[in-house]
């Protein structure tokens, strides 16, 4: 690897990590807005999605520039390919964080709105945030073992999402007044579950980036797919 290529790859990695920080902060702030009934914070998450979109474009342009100038092969080429894929997943995570924030605004549309937030939803939120944090750590460190753990840890998230789906369905049946808040809660749960899908994609890309192993197979859902209620 030439000194110039090494420098440009480090720059690309740094820019992608900066984008990942923005995406992680967006989902953390969206969940904080939900927990604290903070509509101002929710609006700031929605407004901040433009910056995440802009960062996605910057990272993509940088990756294409490195490809054009250096024409890398082997490990370096895999790294750039993984960065492009992870970059796309981060942008989608930012979109989903904004969607969560919009549902928070729906839940607390007036000062008198005080819908019950299921404990399972907050549990799901914590799992998804931890899931994302670990995947990003795996990328930063090139840690295949951690990436494999993240990839295998998606089932509990899917399980809680299914529980919330059936819980909200029952609430809708019991009272017409609960239909709108239950729909918003279900939408938040679905967005969180979809974020977890993108996190799994990131973990798979880390495995490919480091060792060249493609772990996705026809039995896996496509990138960004969701399960029950998604």
CATH number at residue 145: 1.20.58.220
Q: List, for residues 8-33, the tens digit of each pLDDT value.
A: 999 999 999 999 999 999 999 999 99
pLDDT band, residue 173 (cuts 50/70/90): confident
Q: pTM score > 0.85 for this model?
A: yes
222 has a pLDDT exceeding 50: no
Rounded Cα distance, 140 and 129, in Å: 17
Q: What is the pLDDT of residue 110?
A: 74
Q: What is the pLDDT of residue 171?
A: 82
Question: What would you measure as the largest C-alpha separation in the chain, in angstroms?
Answer: 66
**Residue 33 forms part of a structural domain:** yes
**Residue 83 forms part of a structural domain:** yes
**Residue 145 forms part of a structural domain:** yes
Contacts of 201 (CB under 8 A, 6+ apart): 85, 86, 89, 223, 224
Count of structural domains, the chain: 1
Torsion sign over Cα 146, 152, 154, 159: negative
Question: Nearest 5°: phi and psi at 199?
Answer: -65, -40
pLDDT band, residue 1 (cuts 50/70/90): low
Helix axis angle, 179-211 to 155-174, nearest 10°: 170
* Range of weakest confidence among 132-136, 211-215, 219-223: 219-223
**Residue 216 forms part of a structural domain:** no
The average pLDDT across 81-109 equals: 96
**Residue 227 forms part of a structural domain:** no
**Residue 224 forms part of a structural domain:** no
Can you spell out the DSSP letters for 164-217? HHHHHHHHHHH-GGGHHHHHHHHHHHHHHHHHHHHHHHHHHHHHHHHH------
Of 93, 100, 104, 123, the closest CA to residue 21 belongs to 93
Rounded Cα distance, 116 and 112, in Å: 13
230 has a pLDDT exceeding 50: no
How far, rounded to the nearest angstrom, does the alpha carbon of residue 95 sit from its chain's CA centroid? 9
Question: Structural domain of residue 145, as residue ranges?
Answer: 3-211
Q: List, for residues 61-77, the tens digit of each pLDDT value.
A: 999 999 999 888 889 99
Q: List, for residues 192-209, the tens digit of each pLDDT value.
A: 999 999 999 999 999 999
**Residue 226 forms part of a structural domain:** no
Residues 114 and 181 sit within 8 Å (Cβ to Cβ) = no
How far, rounded to the nearest angstrom, does the alpha carbon of residue 120 sit from its chain's CA centroid? 19
Q: How many CB atoms lie within 10 A of CB 57?
A: 11
User: Could you give the percent of the chain with pLDDT greater than 70?
Assistant: 92
The DSSP code for 222 is P
**Residue 115 forms part of a structural domain:** yes
């Amino acid at each position: 690897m030439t000194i110039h290529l090494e420098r440009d790859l480090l720059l690309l990695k740094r820019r992608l990590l900066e984008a990942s920080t923005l995406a992680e902060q967006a989902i953390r702030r969206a969940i904080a807005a939900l927990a604290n009934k903070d509509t101002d914070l929710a609006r700031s998450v929605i407004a901040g999605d433009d910056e995440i979109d802009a960062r996605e474009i910057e990272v993509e342009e940088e990756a294409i520039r490195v490809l054009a100038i250096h024409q890398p092969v082997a490990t370096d080429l895999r790294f750039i390919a993984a960065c492009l894929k992870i970059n796309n997943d981060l942008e989608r995570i930012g979109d989903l964080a904004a969607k969560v924030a919009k549902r928070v605004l729906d839940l607390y549309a007036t000062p008198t709105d005080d819908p019950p937030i299921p404990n399972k939803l907050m549990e799901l939120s914590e799992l998804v945030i931890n899931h994302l944090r670990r995947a990003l750590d795996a990328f930063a460190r090139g840690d295949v073992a951690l990436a494999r753990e993240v990839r295998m840890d998606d089932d509990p998230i899917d399980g809680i999402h299914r529980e919330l789906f059936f819980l909200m369905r029952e609430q809708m049946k019991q009272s017409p007044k609960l239909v709108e808040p239950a729909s918003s809660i279900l939408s938040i749960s679905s967005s969180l579950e979809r974020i977890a899908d993108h996190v799994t994609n990131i973990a798979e890309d880390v495995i490919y980036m480091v060792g060249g192993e493609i772990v996705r197979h026809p039995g896996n859902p496509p990138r960004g797919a969701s399960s029950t209620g998604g």
